[in-house]
Amino acid sequence: MADRPEIEMLFSAATIQARVEALAETIARELGPSPMIVAVLKGGFVFTADLLRALHYRDCHPRIDFLSLSSYGAGSESRGTVTVQRDITDDPTGQTVLLVDDILESGRTLSHAKQMLLDRGAVRVDLCVLLEKPGKRKAVIEADYVGFECADRFVVGYGLDYAHLYRELPYIGAITLD
Ligand code: IMP
Ligand code: MG
């Protein structure tokens, strides 16, 4: 197997777990017993799976759906175009929706997803991200619930990938790309 780059741990599994419990406490209080959760694939799936179970113990019993988006040109200064790769199958009409993703960076994909859900009749769409990289926003969107602020480094693990790898790491770490 090829050499794996060194990973510098930023948030341990225990640190993440404690933060997920605290977020679930706030979210259950804010959104009530039956919100609809829309997890953004692929990066949001690990965080969502843990958050769901933490919500269960706080009398919050959400329905759950998945959305996959891709954003072209997001890394450049030009305007990124967002396309839906895998749409939700449940109807968000009249629902209080919690949109869950791994990380908020430019905000392009998430602002597109939020607007799409509102256009389809969701009454409220709150955004929850595990990580936020400040100072990178290109779209007008802020998260309602944030796990951790993250330095401007490339991070992997707990759902986040580099070249399709590392999503299974139980912790979040930074890798140096050369
Ligand atoms: P944006 O907010 O529309 O720019 O999209 C951010 C997306 O880029 C996230 O959902 C991740 O999939 C990906 N991303 C951004 N920063 C990182 C990182 O440090 N590691 C892994 N993926 C990242
Ligand atoms: Mg993503």
pLDDT of residue 2: 60
pLDDT of residue 73: 57
pLDDT of residue 178: 72
SS (H, E, C) 122-167: CCEEEEEEEEECCCCCCCCCCCCEEEEECCCCEEEECCECECCECC
pLDDT of residue 137: 80
pLDDT of residue 22: 98
The answer to whether 144 and 126 have CB atoms below 8 angstroms apart is yes
For the stretch 9-36, pLDDT in tens is: 999 999 999 999 999 999 999 999 999 9
Cβ–ligand 1 contact at 62 (below 6 Å):
no
Cβ–ligand 1 contact at 74 (below 6 Å):
yes
With left for phi above 0 and alpha for psi between -120 and 50, is residue 124 left, alpha or beta?
beta
pLDDT of residue 33: 98
Low-confidence ranges of the chain (pLDDT < 50): 74-78
Catalytic residue among 21, 105, 132, 168: 105
pLDDT of residue 139: 82
pTM of this prediction?
0.93
109 alpha carbon – ligand 1 mean position (Å): 9
Q: Which residues surround ligand 2, an ion (CB under 5 A)?
A: 43
- Based on the residue annotation, tell me whether 105 is a catalytic residue of this protein: yes
For domain 12-151, which architecture applies?
3-Layer(aba) Sandwich (3.40)
User: For the chain, which residues make up each domain, given as ranges?
Assistant: 12-151
